[in-house]
Amino acid sequence: YKIEGWERNPAGPVFDKKKTQPPFKGIGGNDYAANFADFLAQRSPDRPFCFWFGASEPHRSYQKGSGLEQGKRIADADPPSFLPDHDVVRSDILDYCVEIEWFDSHLGRMLDLLEQTGELENTLVVVTADNGMPFPRAKANCYEYGVHVPLAIRWAGRAPAGRIVDDPVSFVDLAPTFLEAAGIADVNNSRSPLPMAGRSLVALLESG
């Protein structure tokens, strides 16, 4: 498995053999949750695990009118103030929501699988995105809708639930967070020859 010079994928083997029939064009055919089930079935039950659910949804292009076809209403769309309040824009937002819900449905199935295997309460779950919504003045722009991406973290028994934390954090903070959660001490040791750029979020997650 060669990828950009690597003899193997440093993130681990790919689990993508299970396929499904998506409801609309633009949505991929990978059955993410079924592939996660394959991963869980082959893991060593006595060892920690890490799985990266890297969905391509929501991602343009969307099937035009898919939101309306799914029963959503133009009036329910809420365009941000920097976009024209027009039915075309509203319909496009509804199409975007269809793909968000596709992602959410697979995530929900994955959380159910973790619960069924008894791992949910012992797993740190991080849900985020690599960019803002794919609309003008958002994705690939350094405005609020471009740099403020979704981030939800579940860590049963360690992170109090139901909170909204408005501290600014960054993706570079995730690696030291995972290391500290795994019991690797002093991940931000400034005396290290290669100190990590990010800061662990463990203390923030555990704060009340």
Count Cβ neighbours within 10 Å for each residue of 185-196 and write b for 16 or more, e otherwise: eebeeeeeeeeb
Write out pLDDT tens, residues 116-149. 999 999 999 999 999 999 999 999 999 999 999 9
Residues 6+ apart with CB under 8 A from 165: 204
- Unique residue bearing structure tokens 């500290």: 180
Please tell me the predicted confidence (pLDDT) of residue 46. Answer: 85
pLDDT of residue 168: 92
pTM summary value: 0.91
Q: Which one has a higher pLDDT value, 5 or 110?
A: 110
Q: What Cα–Cα distance (Å) separates residue 91 from each residue in 71, 118, 188? A: 12, 41, 46
Nearest to 79 by CA among 61, 63, 92, 66: 92
DSSP letters, 107-127, are HHHHHHHHHHTT-GGG-EEEE
- pLDDT tens-digit series, residues 162-205: 999 999 999 999 998 998 898 886 666 656 666 778 899 999 99
